[in-house]
Amino acid sequence: MSILITGGAGYIGSHIAHELVDRGDDVVILDNLSTGVRENVPAKAEFVQGNVGDRDTLSALFKAHQIDAVMHFAGSIVVPESVENPLKYYDNNTAVTRTLLEACVAESIDKFVFSSTAAVYGMPHADELPVTEKTPTVPINPYGRSKLMTEWMLQDISHAHDFRYVALRYFNVAGADPSGRTGQSTPAATHLIKVACQAALGVREQLGVFGTDYETRDGTCVRDYIHVTDLAKVHLLALDALQAGSPSRVLNCGYGRGFTVREVIDSVRRVSSVDFVTHDLERRAGDPPELIANAGELRAQFNWQPEHDDLDHIVETALKWERRMMR
């Protein structure tokens, strides 16, 4: 198959690009390198630097390459930034995707895999955990809303046109390619496992723990951390399902278990053998106390077998990547 990956130089997109190239698919990457890194793209992938929202770039790309399916990762992902600058999110995540979808429909590209987020669920109640795909979607920030609006567009387009999609709602993606080809390279990344690894390696002086008075087993927030390579495999399965003619689907991507912030910190200390400093801070606005996926549907639909469901292993690969970034 020939696949267009938007945002293929980014953290998650580049992992999927490597997996697709490994199995012999043709990969074309469209990325403006605003946060992506050219070196993380597989050598065998075709690379086009440009904006997904630029209709002329898309037309030229579709003219030059016979694309069978699109995997869409390009977008903005920082929740607090989305609160301060909502229009950036409705542009980069919603309007840009509308342009891409318009081009897909015009070119009769009927298979689409979309990078969505658990942020579409907002603050689920304790009795709604773990969240299923049927849990009400009530996003509490522009980031989550901009992604949910895209899910709605996909749904409507799939009814109106010959077009099928899989929207994957990611929980907390972490870790790096175990063979060290790519990883989370955004310097301003704020994700817990990355910043904890940076604290262990002395790139940061300390780590703040946002909120220690939640009603969880140790007072800190619980998240479902999924290894990026297992998540990459889900995308390949989604693509294969669409290729085999399966209907559109929305699926949670997590393991169905959670770790607290303190448990993650303990893991990073254990794996790195560095007892780095942490400071307890006030709660961060908009953090749900607990967010865990019910991943039953993903396993049932795709017979997905995770291979990296081990917190220390996730941390080990993240740490290895951070060490590499320091060189």
DSSP one-letter code for 162:
S
Q: Which of 4, 58, 69, 77 binds ligand UFG (CB under 6 A)?
A: 77
- The helix-helix angle for 11-22 and 228-243 (nearest 10°) equals 60
Q: Helix and strand tally (H, E) in the chain?
A: 11, 14
Look up 165 and say whether it is catalytic: no
Nearer to ligand UFG, 130 or 288 (CB): 288
Q: Which of 221, 226, 253, 293 binds ligand UFG (CB under 6 A)?
A: 221
Number of chain residues interacting with ligand UFG (CB under 6 A): 22
Of 41-49, 86-94, 186-194, 269-277, the segment contacting ligand UFG by CB under 6 A is 186-194
Q: Which of 81, 178, 203, 210 binds ligand UFG (CB under 6 A)?
A: 210
| Shortest Cβ 117–ligand UFG spacing (Å) | 5
Q: Is residue 273 left, alpha or beta, with left meaning phi > 0 and alpha meaning psi from -120 to 50? A: left
* Interacting positions 242-261 with ligand UFG (CB under 6 A): 261
Q: Which of 20, 41, 157, 207 binds ligand UFG (CB under 6 A)?
A: 207
**Cβ 299 vs Cβ 234: under 8 Å:** no
Cα–Cα distance for residue pair 263/268, rounded to 1 Å: 9
* Interacting positions 12-71 with ligand UFG (CB under 6 A): none
**Cβ 146 vs Cβ 140: under 8 Å:** no
Q: Which two tokens stand for residue 317?
A: 């690969």
DSSP strand pairing (290-291 vs 259-260): unpaired
Nearer to ligand UFG, 27 or 226 (CB): 226
DSSP strand pairing (111-117 vs 207-210): unpaired
Cβ atoms within 10 Å of 126's Cβ, excluding its own = 8
Q: State the catalytic residue, choosing from 143, 170, 214, 255.
A: 143
* Active site members: 143
Binding site for ligand UFG (CB under 6 A): 77, 79, 117-119, 143, 172, 190-192, 195, 207-210, 221, 223, 261, 284, 287-288, 291
